[in-house]
Chain A
Amino acid sequence: MNPTPSQTVGPFFSHALPYPHDWELVPAGHAGAIMLTGRVLDGAGEPVPDALLELWLGRTGDRGALLRGDGEVSGFGRCATAPDGSFRFRTVRPEGAYLSLQVFARGLLRSLLTRVYLEDRPDPLLDGLEPERRGTLIATGSGDRYRFDVRLQGDGETVFLDF
């Protein structure tokens, strides 16, 4: 069957899509929690204040994806960017090499799919990239704090996946 086309999430989703504790895949104080923060920037290097990011760990977990329950880990998180284009997630490290990140925004007629690697390592996807683009998928930081900027266009443009 022919798929349904995508349309932009538009500017007016913040009364509908964000929900309490959406950015917290794990509760405060969770052992092994890390903070993943960053900004979404457009082709002029300006912050994108109306993007919505979704983070997927690869397993559903027990905390609930929408209604954060008593469990410890949810596989899914969502964060609308702040006026300065910033976002944040409290999560745990993925079992594999990367977390999956999807970006929605006004002006994006379809979402963008990318990956956040917490460290550089041999990897089928990374190894297939031009060397100067590889770094766009690797978060900076260590310990419990990591930073990952999403550059939609231009210098340092983030690698997005064909899906």
Chain B
Amino acid sequence: MTHPPYLSPGYRSTILRAPARPPVAFRTDPDAIELTGPVFGHHEVGSLDADLTRQHAGEPLGERISVTGRILDSAGKPIRGTLVELWQANAAGRYAHERDQHPAPLDPNFTGAGRCLTDEDGRYRFVTIKPGAYPWRNHHNAWRPAHLHFSVFGRAFTERLVTQMYFPGDPLMPFDPILQSIPDEAARQRLVSAFSMELTEPEWSLGYSFDIVLGRTPTESS
């Protein structure tokens, strides 16, 4: 099983939000609108939107990184021109969000939001800083491992995916009820990016790679 179950009591917020009834089988006609999705124009995404270090007058604090990978369908084919959105905490583990109460400093040079369209190979690329771990109130001494939030559209509304990317070797991963909500260890590992010396730029930034494979819609044959 790839996805976490909706009800995962270790992550407390699921208890009153997970549907109690099973989802209804989606045996539908080929004209079902869920089998299509929005198309985004290149003019809708700015060329600097994928560089989170250049959105303010100065450079943000933190470890500069690049993150790149391909968006693939379940057959391994690249998905071109699809929208990828990314958001994250700053290097101190604080979000530029009014309701984040973590007493860590905001960075006036970092908002932590970016987006881009995939290229002809289905590839996206972001330049940003490595986010810090941050505490949350799920349980005593709860800390989220460092992570980037990703949102991907794909070609169909049924392919829509929101997920989180983690960093290799993060000691907080075994303690995180959100990552651990995924029952299968191999599936959890698919959310951990790979450090890449090849993608690392001398005197400039560390490189990470992270591919995203979208699910098969239930009406496709398996």
**Which residues on A are within 8 Å of B, measured CB to CB?**
1-17, 42-44, 46, 48, 54, 56-60, 64-67, 74-76, 94, 96, 98-100, 102, 104-113, 124-125, 128-129, 133, 152-154, 157-163
> A-facing mask of B1-15, CB < 8 A → 1, else 0?
011111010010111
Label chain A's interface by main secondary structure. Answer: loop
Residues of B within 8 A of A162 (CB): 22-26, 218
Residues of B within 8 A of A48 (CB): 17
Chain B stretch 180-222: residues in CB contact (< 8 A) with chain A: 181-182, 186-188, 190-191, 211-218
Residues of B within 8 A of A12 (CB): 87, 89, 95, 97, 99-100
Number of residues of chain B lying within 8 A (CB) of chain A: 79
**19 cross-chain CB contacts under 8 A:** A1-B75, A1-B76, A4-B191, A6-B3, A6-B4, A9-B151, A10-B149, A11-B97, A12-B99, A15-B112, A43-B15, A46-B16, A65-B44, A100-B33, A104-B162, A107-B17, A153-B19, A159-B24, A161-B23
CA–CA, A110 to B2, complex, Å? 11
Given known A4-B190, A56-B33, contact A107–B3 (CB-CB < 8 A): no
Known interface pairs A9-B151, A60-B39, A160-B21; 13 further A-B residue pairs with C-beta atoms within 8 A, sorted by A's residue number: A3-B213, A3-B215, A3-B216, A4-B212, A7-B4, A8-B11, A15-B95, A42-B17, A108-B18, A110-B3, A133-B21, A152-B18, A153-B18
Q: Are B28 and A6 in contact (CB under 8 A)?
A: no
Interface residue from B24, B112, B162 paired with A125 (Cβ < 8 Å) = B24
| 5 closest A-B pairs by CB | A107-B13, A58-B33, A16-B87, A16-B113, A107-B17
Closest to B211 in A: A4
CA–CA, A22 to B34, complex, Å? 20
